[in-house]
């Protein structure tokens, strides 16, 4: 992506009161002062004290509006510092009041700065370990009146895309990415579990791709509340079924199930409903299906599968595992059973019981990504251990978009291992999407662009953030959008404590 230079009319200071989200879910105002420039970097002061130094590669933009999503409602469960000004689904205005959307990962690549980052260089910029994330990790977000946006991630909006469509581009891009990752074939069925804030966008994306590509697959909505059935049909589902009860012995209803529930119970229901692949999109930060680190699995976009018993299949898996086709695969073998003899001919193999020790060995050898492409473990505890080998650091032993296989020597007690081994199910995950692709599809498909704004059921001024977050949890609400006042006098904000 090419770096777009900041326009000369962008401001270089902002003084304002921002509403911060705290770990106890309260929303409390705090005074901020930001000063700097895209070339020199930015100083962030909070409550009169130094708070954060941001390097170069950020543009100061005014927030116009910002959508509320499930990540915001579950923000306290995520492993990033609080309090913070949150909100990441934004339309931002430059100094000349031109509208932009902003991709949220502030990596080296997105900031357009010089770097030798092995992640950014390998097409894994959205996983750059040094990134900050708009409204989620360190970078103040769109529920405040100003944002510091990574320069190369600021995308101007075409006039044909209205505000109510544009404010949904961040979640729509994520939805489109899931739909494209699954890519069902003609005659197959894909079910969206929990079609609400994100799930309805996934249904819309599946329907738009089906229309564009002429691939005739069936789209199902799996709902717990009947009120959502009409919504699912309106957004492009062919049929709506009740969400399965994980406790019951029901038959799978679709080859693919995309879990968008944002609920820890969603994964077990998805495992019951699917016959081939579950695609997980929820980042609720809580344990589910016997895993502690389901959210981290999604954050790193990792996949899970049973290690193939057939050596031919296993060899193909290993050969296809590096992110660049000519790189030698790296495999971490942590299963109790020994690795097959052929493995060391085809890959650099790291064996041991302690994933942190294997990670240290990779870090000591500064060649390429300090990660493996693929790990083989016994069970759920093994998965958790390779996903987050260190309590204090948000990094995995497996590279972003890598694969974890279970070898399962012992009893298959949990629903996840049973599904992976008895039914050969695959669990895939995805997080963000590509704004460029999402915009191109919306520009080309006017019906789609017109359909999306129906999701916005509530709008509130930015001063009523606390109310907006409460509203977003109620069943009658799909999407709340926070709107900032049109003429902002940054140093004369009258926002009051809103909790």
Note the residues at the interface with Zn ion (CB under 5 A): 69, 71, 107-108, 117, 119-120, 128
Residue number with CB closer to Zn ion (104 or 291) = 104
Least Å distance between CB 433 and Zn ion?
11
Residue number with CB closer to Zn ion (71 or 406) = 71
Least Å distance between CB 218 and Zn ion?
27
Least Å distance between CB 115 and Zn ion?
6
Residue number with CB closer to Zn ion (126 or 303) = 126
Least Å distance between CB 370 and Zn ion?
13
Residue number with CB closer to Zn ion (17 or 91) = 91
Least Å distance between CB 377 and Zn ion?
27
Residue number with CB closer to Zn ion (67 or 355) = 67
Least Å distance between CB 125 and Zn ion?
6
Least Å distance between CB 119 and Zn ion?
5
Residue number with CB closer to Zn ion (258 or 376) = 258
Least Å distance between CB 279 and Zn ion?
17
Dig out the tokens for 187 from the structure: 């005659």
Residue number with CB closer to Zn ion (141 or 244) = 141
Least Å distance between CB 418 and Zn ion?
32
Residue number with CB closer to Zn ion (120 or 222) = 120
Residue number with CB closer to Zn ion (64 or 277) = 64
């Amino acid at each position: 992506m090419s770096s777009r230079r900041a326009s000369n009319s962008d401001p270089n200071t902002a003084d304002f009161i921002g509403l911060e989200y705290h770990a106890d879910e309260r929303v409390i105002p705090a005074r901020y002062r930001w000063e700097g420039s895209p070339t020199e970097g930015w100083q962030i002061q909070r409550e009169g004290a130094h708070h954060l130094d941001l390097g170069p590669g950020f543009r100061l933009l005014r927030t116009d509006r910002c959508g509320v999503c499930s990540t915001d409602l579950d923000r306290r469960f995520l492993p990033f510092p609080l309090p913070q000004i949150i909100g990441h689904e934004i339309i931002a205005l430059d100094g000349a009041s031109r509208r932009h959307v902003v991709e949220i990962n502030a990596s080296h690549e997105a900031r357009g700065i010089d770097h030798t980052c092995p992640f950014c260089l390998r097409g894994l910029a959205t996983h750059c370990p040094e990134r900050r994330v708009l409204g989620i990790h360190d970078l103040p977000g769109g529920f405040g009146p100003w944002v510091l946006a990574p320069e190369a991630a600021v995308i101007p909006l075409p006039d044909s895309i209205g505000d109510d469509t544009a404010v949904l581009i961040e979640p729509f891009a994520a939805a489109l990415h899931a739909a494209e990752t699954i890519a069902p074939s003609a005659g197959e069925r894909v079910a969206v579990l929990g079609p609400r804030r994100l799930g309805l966008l996934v249904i819309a994306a599946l329907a738009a791709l089906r229309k564009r590509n002429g691939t005739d697959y069936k789209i199902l909505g799996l709902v717990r509340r009947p009120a959502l059935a009409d919504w699912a049909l309106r957004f492009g589902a062919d049929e709506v079924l009740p969400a399965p009860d994980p406790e019951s012995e029901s038959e799978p209803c679709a080859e693919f199930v995309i879990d968008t529930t944002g609920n820890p119970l969603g994964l077990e229901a998805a495992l019951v409903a699917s016959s081939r692949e579950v695609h997980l999109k929820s980042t609720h930060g809580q344990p589910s299906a016997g895993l502690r680190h389901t959210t981290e699995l999604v954050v790193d976009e990792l996949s899970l599968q049973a290690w193939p018993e057939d050596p031919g299949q296993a060899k193909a898996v290993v050969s296809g595992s590096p992110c660049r086709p000519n790189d030698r695969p790296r495999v971490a073998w942590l299963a109790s059973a020994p690795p097959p003899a052929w493995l060391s001919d085809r890959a650099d193999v790291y064996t041991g019981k302690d994933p942190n020790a294997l990670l240290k060995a990779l870090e000591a050898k500064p060649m390429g990504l300090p990660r493996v492409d693929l790990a083989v473990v016994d069970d759920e505890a093994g998965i958790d251990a390779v996903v987050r080998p260190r309590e204090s650091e948000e990094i995995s032993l497996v590279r972003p978009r890598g694969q974890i296989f279970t070898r399962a020597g012992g009893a298959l007690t949990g629903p996840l291992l049973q599904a992976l081994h008895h039914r050969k199910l695959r669990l895939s995950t995805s997080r963000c999407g590509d704004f460029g692709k999402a915009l191109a599809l919306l520009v080309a498909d006017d019906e789609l662009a017109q359909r999306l704004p129906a999701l916005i059921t509530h709008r509130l001024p930015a001063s009523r953030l606390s109310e907006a977050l409460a509203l977003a949890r109620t069943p009658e609400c799909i999407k709340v959008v926070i709107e900032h006042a049109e003429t902002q006098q940054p140093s004369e904000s009258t926002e009051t404590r809103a909790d």
